[in-house]
Amino acid sequence: MKTWLITGASSGLGLVMTTKLLARGDRVVACGRRATPFEALQQTVGNRLRVARFDLTDTAALRQEVDAAFAAFGRIDTVVSNAGYGLFGAAEEVADAQIERQIATNLTASIQLVRAVLPHLRAQGGGRIVQVSSEGGQMAYPNFSLYHATKWGIEGFLDAVAQEVALFGIDIVIAEPGATATGFARGLDHAAPMEVYDATPAGDVRRAVSSGAFEIKGDADRTVDAMIQVADSAQPRRRIALGSTAFENIHRALTARLDDLVAQKSLTLTADRV
């Protein structure tokens, strides 16, 4: 039996994962702003489920709940940083308050979660952190610039942290799902559209999303199954792309960046000291 702490556990991939892990006999600390989804589960699994209801952007509350979770269960094997949402709109369209909330929720809160759990993972001799990022941590769609900023940001943060904590027996896994059938689209925070962007790629993506033409191939259950499989493995890969859309888009983006890097080599080397 393993013990997991999962943020954003009250909906989407987090709720699917919580349900699956409890069904197989594990223990879960389910963190979210709503306790309602867990009421039926609690009656079935009893004290194998600990519900922590708080706003992840409240750093003091986050640290308090993390400390309480480790104290209650003694050991937490895997921490899944899953909470987040999308801000939808061209960079010029989004409001300052929307930007601040997006960064606070997706990036700063994820950073603070990692900082809060690291002392506990070190003290227990190791553990695993799974960050739910996105294909959007390696490539970008128009109208998701701020969302991408948080995903590229958390991936860079964790690439550095992984090097800092490897000798403590702490592994980092970054999951990068493509578009998946969850409540993500319904939870988008929409910016007020500007007519000037109607005839741009931003307008094209807006119409695709609003009409339902934006293709979603990812299956939530299969995505979670793959994440659990990786989290359970003895030596997990640092990054795992999930779904054909993620594989194709990330492959295309990385190939283009590598081709561009190689093409500029002669100019790049002129910047060295001689």
> What amino acid positions are annotated as catalytic residues?
133, 147, 151
- Are 171 and 128 in contact, with CB atoms under 8 Å apart? yes
- Are 150 and 102 in contact, with CB atoms under 8 Å apart? yes
Q: Which residues are registered as beta bridge partners of 129?
A: 79, 172
Q: Looking only at Cα atoms, what is the longest distance across the chain?
A: 71
- Cα dist from 153 to 94, 101, 133, 134, whole Å: 19, 15, 10, 12
Please, how many CA atoms are within 13 Å of residue 104, restricted to the half-sphere of its CB? 12
Residue 202 to residue 5: CA distance in whole angstroms: 37
DSSP code, position 192:
P
Looking only at the bridges linking them, the beta strands covering 78-81 and 127-132 are: parallel
DSSP code, position 181:
S
DSSP structure string for 122-138:
HHTT-EEEEEE--GGGT
Tokens of 222: 């299969």
Residue 78 to residue 228: CA distance in whole angstroms: 10
